[in-house]
Amino acid sequence: MQQLETWRPRAASRRIWPAVWFAAFVFIVAAAFRDDGPAVPAVQTPGPADPQARAILTAFYHATGGDNYWKTSTGWLSDRPLDQWHGVQINDAGKVIGLRLSNNQLTGPIPAELGQLITLEVLWLSHNQLIGPIPAELGQLQNLKDLSLGGNVLTGPIPTELGQLQNLKDLSLWGNRLTAIPAELGQLQNLENLSLGGNA
């Protein structure tokens, strides 16, 4: 009787299977230790920054006719970041450094609270209908570089306290009804431009 030949895997097959198992092992280990990068945190809406500045600007808004007269008041009194309030500029720390509201139909007196925005560098309120005296409290704005109040109906003497603004470079008070120029303005050693014409 003819004996059946016992089948044995070829040598090539014996070499392939260990390689396949090794590749599968490497894939599993690599998947287990795969790093897809740091987890991305959920986007969170930041809360209102600098509540003191918001309170001061809110008082300014109401004092100068924001509800009824302002030409543009986009963002004001909202929960938006302050740099989304029309005319407001902030720095990287979220502090107010600029208030540019020239030719925006502001009315009424300049509120004294504005002197508490001590990080303010630029204050442009020209070409409006602001009345009354210039608040002495503006002399507290030690970082102020540019003060523009021209073209309003401001009255009384220029406050001596403005002579304390040692960083001031531009001072524009033209076209008002101001009555006296204090000698203290001569202390403004960094002043480059001074405009006082057209006052009563």
Q: What is the pLDDT of residues 44-93, one digit of tens each?
A: 344 446 899 999 999 999 999 999 999 999 999 999 999 999 999 999 99
Q: Is residue 3 part of a domain?
A: no
Q: Is residue 28 part of a domain?
A: no
Q: Is residue 23 part of a domain?
A: no
Which CATH number does the domain housing residue 77 bear?
3.80.10.10
Out of 15-24, 141-150, 181-190, which region has the weakest mean confidence (pLDDT)? 15-24
Handedness of CA 141, 192, 100, 173 (dihedral sign): positive
Q: What is the pLDDT of residues 124-147, one digit of tens each?
A: 999 999 999 999 999 999 999 999
Q: Is residue 14 part of a domain?
A: no
Q: How far apart are CA 82 and CA 33, in angstroms?
A: 45
Question: Residue type at 6?
Answer: T
Contact of 128 with 153, CB cutoff 8 Å: no
Q: How far apart are CA 130 and CA 107, in angstroms?
A: 5
Overall domain count for the chain = 1
Please indicate whether residue 22 or residue 180 has the higher confidence score (pLDDT).
Answer: 180
State the pLDDT at residue 49. 65
Q: How many Å is the Cα radius of gyration of the chain?
A: 35
Q: Is residue 158 part of a domain?
A: yes
Q: Which domain holds residue 168?
A: 52-195
Please indicate whether residue 67 or residue 5 has the higher confidence score (pLDDT).
Answer: 67
Q: Which residues pair with 99 in a beta bridge?
A: 88, 123
Does residue 33 carry a pLDDT above 90?
Answer: no
Q: Is residue 133 part of a domain?
A: yes
Q: How confident is the model at residue 200 (pLDDT cuts 50, 70, 90)?
A: confident
Give the DSSP letter of residue 6. Answer: P
Q: Is residue 44 part of a domain?
A: no
Most confident range (mean pLDDT) of 19-28, 37-46, 136-145 is 136-145
Q: Is residue 21 part of a domain?
A: no
Q: Which residues pair with 109 in a beta bridge?
A: 131
